[in-house]
Amino acid sequence: MRFGILLDHQYAKEDDVAQRVPELVSFVETIRDLGFDSVFGIHHYLSSLRTLQPLSMLARLVDASGSMQIGTGILILPLLQPVHVAEEVATLDQLSGGRFVLGVGAGYRDEEFAAFGIAKDERFRRMVESLDVITQLWSGEPVTHDGEFFHLDRAELSMLPVQQPPPIWMGANSPFGIKRAARLGYPWIASGNVKRNWAVGNLGLYREELVAAGHADEDRVYPIHRDLSLADSREEAIELVEQYVRRSYGEYAPYGLDYFETMFEEFKEKSFFFGTPDEVAAKIDDFAAAGFNHFVFRVQWLGCPIDVSRSILERFAHDVMPRFRDRASVAPAVATA
């Protein structure tokens, strides 16, 4: 069983980002020292919030991250040129000594696609073709590619990654997208807001499709994002963070995702890992029984004091994580493709 943290490096427009950066570095050092396995960044352009771009930010965090995996959870790949991504990820993999995970997704915000002059209905085809180009480039061989969107003539990267290749995870929020990830052989990242039965049912769908496509479903990573809060009672755990979680999810409304506000109570009951250490451990056991084995938690939200986030991290590391670390089972290897 592996545990990671999804950093929330988005800040209110009036916030002082110059103060938040050293705070973020210190926070990652805390994550490292508490024994977590991974740390991930998020990605958006033209956001209503001050958003540090993930590849630059992760380069800053390499030294603070120790031996943890670092990566994107997720990078909006259709907006980017694959040669650029291949070189950047190879560089980050070198800087980290072979610890980088490229999490990708198709994106959903109209404003981003319009700004880049990319048709939104092309995003899935662009993502798949980009991954094909990137993985070819990482091989170190000259790449000639004549596709729908990208064209290369014996292109050869100047920097190769340590890992051959770095792991690629794929985010998807629909059964069709989940099947796509399975057919391509990439681990599917389940989103933090999806309800328990939806996540478990679609993991079963993913694994069936994975096998049908000729990929083994053993010794693979099955990651999932979850919002996490811990206290002496479930009520206290909710009260500790609810105002900040509501504020963060409220930022989705301008992008046509107002259900994050209207369905918040349902998410709180069926999606978030809020509760006592015993209750959270039971939730992990439940999801682990279904097959999930890399839990990536969010413990930061808009306006949440960093000391509150640290207290949740520490409570989890001391009161929950040892229950799973002490088990005889060995964490599965990370699948790359």
| Residue 236 within any structural domain of the chain | yes
- Let me know if residue 197 belongs to a domain: yes
Does some domain include residue 143?
Answer: yes
* 329, pLDDT greater than 60: no
pLDDT, residue 264, reads 80
Which tokens is 214 given?
A: 């000729």
Does 126 score more than 60 pLDDT? yes
Query: Which position has the token pair 């069936």?
Result: 208
Asked if the structure places residue 331 within a domain, the reply is no
* Distance, CA of 5 to CA of 244 (rounded, Å): 17
- Distance between CA 188 and CA 262 in Å, rounded? 27
Domain membership flag for residue 332 = no
Domain that holds residue 231: 2-325
267 Cβ neighbours under 8 A, 6+ residues apart: 193, 195, 249, 260
Instruction: Quick: pLDDT tens for 152-211.
Output: 999 999 999 999 999 999 999 999 999 999 999 999 999 998 999 999 999 999 999 999
CA-based angle 274:276:279, to the nearest 5? 80
pLDDT at 263: 75
Between CA 34 and CA 174 the distance in angstroms is 34
Task: Report yes or no on 333 lying in a domain.
Answer: no
- E strand segments, 257-329: 273-275, 294-298
Partners of 274 in the β-ladder: 229
For residues 161 and 139, give the distance between their C-alpha atoms in angstroms, rounded to a whole number.
9
CATH number of the domain at 252, please: 3.20.20.30
**295 falls within a domain:** yes
Domain count, the chain: 1
2-52 pLDDT, tens per residue? 999 999 999 999 999 999 999 999 999 999 999 999 999 999 999 999 999
- Asked if 34 and 186 count as a contact pair (C-beta separation under 8 A), the reply is no
Quick check: is 337 in a domain?
A: no
In 3-state terms the chain splits into helix, strand, coil percentages (rounded to 5) of 50, 20, 35
The position carrying tokens 């916030």 is: 15
Phi, psi of 102 (to 5 degrees): -95, 100
For the stretch 289-326, pLDDT in tens is 999 999 999 999 999 999 999 999 999 999 999 999 86
